[in-house]
C-alpha cells in the first residue's frame, strides 16, 4: 500500500494537468515527488527553498490572483512556524488555500519533538473557517484531497499521516460515518485512530462514529448518536492533542446533560524516539489502554 503522502503527490501531479487553477508551493520538503510535475508546470509548482513563512505568504499571493494554492510541508513547519501567515496571509486577506501536512504527531519518532506537531488542529481552531480533514487511509486521503482542491476558495487543512487503518471508509468530506450502534455511549474515532478504537471497544455496546473531517464538526450525527444511547456519554479519540474536539462536543450537546472524555496526544513531551507504535502506547492510545480508559469512563 502506498502512503498518504505518496498518494498526495501522485494525485496532485495529475490534478495539475487537469486544473489550470491549481498551484503547489513547497519549501524543499516533498520536492522530489514533484520533479516531473514541476517540469510540466514550472510556473505552478514553486519551491521557495527552506522558507516556511514565504511558503504560506506565496500561497496567499497566488490566491489573491485567483489560483488555488496547495502548500505542503511537515505539520510543524506548515502550521506552527508560520502561524501568523496562516492567520493574516490567508484568513485576514479573505482568501483560501489547501494546507497538506505530513509527519503529524509522531510519524518520524526517531526525529524527535522538533518534527512532531500534535497541536496543529488545536492551533487552527483559534482561526475562523478552516475545514480540517484527517484521513485514515490513502484512499481517504485522495478523496479528501479532491474535495479540498474543489472547495472553491475555502481554507482547508489536510493532515496526512504514516499511521493508517487497514481498510478505507467511504468518506464524503463532511459527515461522520456511523460504523456501529450501541446504547452504552458514543465513541468518536478520528482518522487513523479508528482501528485501535474498534479493537478497544470490541464486544462493548457502544456507538462508534468515524470522523475523517473534524472541522466543521458534524454535530448533527453526534446528537443523533447520543440520543440513541442511554446517556449522552461521549469519548473522542484523536491522533493529535487530547481534548482538541471536546469544545465541539460540548457545543453540539449544549442543551443535553452529557459527559465527555477527550483522548489523544498529551501535552507533555515524552522525549522518546523509537517507533510510531511505541508512541501510541506511550500516549495510552494502543487498543488495550484505550479499552481501559473508555470502559473506565463509560461504566456506571
Partner 1 sequence: MTNAIRTQTENGVAGFGELASLMGLMTGAEKHGPAATSTLDALWVLYDRVLRVSPETAKDPGRDRFLLSKGHGPMAYYAVLAAKGFFPRTWLPDFGTYDSPLGHHPDRTLVPGAEIGSGSLGHGLPLAVGTALGLRAQGLDDPAVWVLVGDAELDEGSNHEAIAYAGAAGLSRLHTLVIDNSSATHGWHGGIAAQFQAAGWSAVTVDGRDHEALHRAFTAPHPGRPHAVVAQVEPKDTGEPKVA
**What is the rounded CA–CA span in Å between residue 218 and residue 120?**
20
Match 510540466 to its residue by C-alpha cell: 40
Considering only residues 194 to 253 of the shown chain, the ones binding partner 1 according to CB under 8 A are none
Closest distance between partner 1 and the C-beta of residue 26, in Å? 12
Closest distance between partner 1 and the C-beta of residue 123, in Å? 17
Closest distance between partner 1 and the C-beta of residue 122, in Å? 22
Record the cell numbers describing residue 23, joined without a space.
498551484
43 binds partner 1 (CB under 8 A): yes
17 vs 230, beta carbon nearer partner 1: 17
Please calculate the CA angle 73-74-78 and round it to the nearest 5 degrees: 65
Break the chain down into helix, strand, coil percent, rounded to 5. Answer: 40, 20, 40
**What is the rounded CA–CA span in Å between residue 99 and residue 60?**
11
Stretch that binds partner 1, among 83-91, 114-122, 152-160, 272-280 (CB under 8 A): 83-91
Instruction: Report the first-to-last Cα separation within the chain, whole angstroms.
Output: 42
48 vs 204, beta carbon nearer partner 1: 48
Closest distance between partner 1 and the C-beta of residue 7, in Å? 25
# residues contacting partner 1 (CB under 8 A): 31
Considering only residues 93 to 152 of the shown chain, the ones binding partner 1 according to CB under 8 A are 93-94
Closest distance between partner 1 and the C-beta of residue 274, in Å? 34
Using the rule CB under 8 A, which residue among 85, 207, 213, 244 binds partner 1?
A: 85
Using the rule CB under 8 A, which residue among 19, 28, 31, 51 binds partner 1?
A: 51
Ramachandran bin of 154, using left for φ above 0, alpha for ψ from -120 to 50, beta for the remaining angles:
beta
88 binds partner 1 (CB under 8 A): yes
**What is the rounded CA–CA span in Å between residue 108 and residue 161?**
10
Closest distance between partner 1 and the C-beta of residue 157, in Å? 19
**What is the rounded CA–CA span in Å between residue 27 and residue 38?**
14
CB 178 within 8 A of CB 22: no
Closest distance between partner 1 and the C-beta of residue 54, in Å? 4
**What is the rounded CA–CA span in Å between residue 100 and residue 24?**
10
Upper half-sphere CA count for residue 171 (Cβ side, 13 Å): 31
3-state secondary structure of 52: helix
Considering only residues 17 to 36 of the shown chain, the ones binding partner 1 according to CB under 8 A are 20, 23, 25
Binding map of partner 1 across residues 53-72, x = CB under 8 A, - = no contact = xx-xxxxxxxxxxxx-x---
Contact residues for partner 1 (CB under 8 A)? 20, 23, 25, 43-44, 46, 48-49, 51, 53-54, 56-67, 69, 84-85, 88-89, 92-94
Amino acid at each position: 500500500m502506498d502512503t498518504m503522502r505518496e498518494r498526495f503527490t501522485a494525485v496532485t501531479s495529475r490534478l495539475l494537468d487537469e486544473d489550470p487553477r491549481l498551484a503547489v508551493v513547497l519549501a524543499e520538503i516533498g520536492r522530489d515527488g514533484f520533479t516531473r510535475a514541476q517540469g510540466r508546470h514550472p510556473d505552478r509548482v514553486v519551491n521557495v527553498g527552506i522558507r516556511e513563512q514565504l511558503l504560506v505568504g506565496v500561497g496567499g499571493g497566488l490566491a489573491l490572483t485567483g489560483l488555488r494554492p496547495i502548500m505542503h510541508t511537515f505539520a510543524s513547519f506548515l502550521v506552527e512556524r508560520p502561524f501568523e501567515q496562516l492567520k493574516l496571509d490567508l484568513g485576514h486577506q479573505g482568501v483560501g488555500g489547501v494546507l497538506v501536512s505530513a509527519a503529524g504527531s509522531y510519524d518520524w519518532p526517531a526525529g524527535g519533538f522538533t518534527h512532531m506537531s500534535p497541536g496543529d488542529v488545536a492551533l487552527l481552531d483559534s482561526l475562523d473557517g478552516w475545514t480540517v480533514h484527517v484521513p485514515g487511509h490513502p484512499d481517504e486521503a485522495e478523496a479528501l484531497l479532491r474535495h479540498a482542491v474543489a472547495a472553491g476558495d475555502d481554507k482547508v487543512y489536510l493532515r496526512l499521516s504514516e499511521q493508517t487503518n487497514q481498510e478505507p471508509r467511504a468518506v464524503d468530506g463532511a459527515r461522520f460515518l456511523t460504523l456501529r450502534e450501541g446504547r452504552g455511549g458514543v465513541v468518536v474515532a478520528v482518522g487513523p485512530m479508528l482501528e485501535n478504537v474498534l479493537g478497544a471497544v470490541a464486544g462493548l455496546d457502544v456507538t462508534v462514529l468515524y470522523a475523517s473531517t473534524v472541522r466543521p464538526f458534524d454535530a448533527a450525527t453526534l446528537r443523533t448518536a447520543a440520543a440513541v444511547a442511554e446517556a449522552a456519554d461521549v469519548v473522542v479519540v484523536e491522533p493529535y492533542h487530547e481534548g482538541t474536539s471536546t469544545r465541539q462536543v460540548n457545543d453540539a450537546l449544549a442543551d443535553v446533560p452529557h459527559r465527555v472524555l477527550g483522548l489523544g496526544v498529551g501535552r507533555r513531551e515524552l522525549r522518546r524516539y523509537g517507533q510510531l507504535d511505541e508512541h501510541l502506547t506511550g500516549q495510552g492510545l494502543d487498543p488495550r489502554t484505550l479499552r481501559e480508559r473508555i470502559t473506565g469512563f463509560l461504566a456506571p
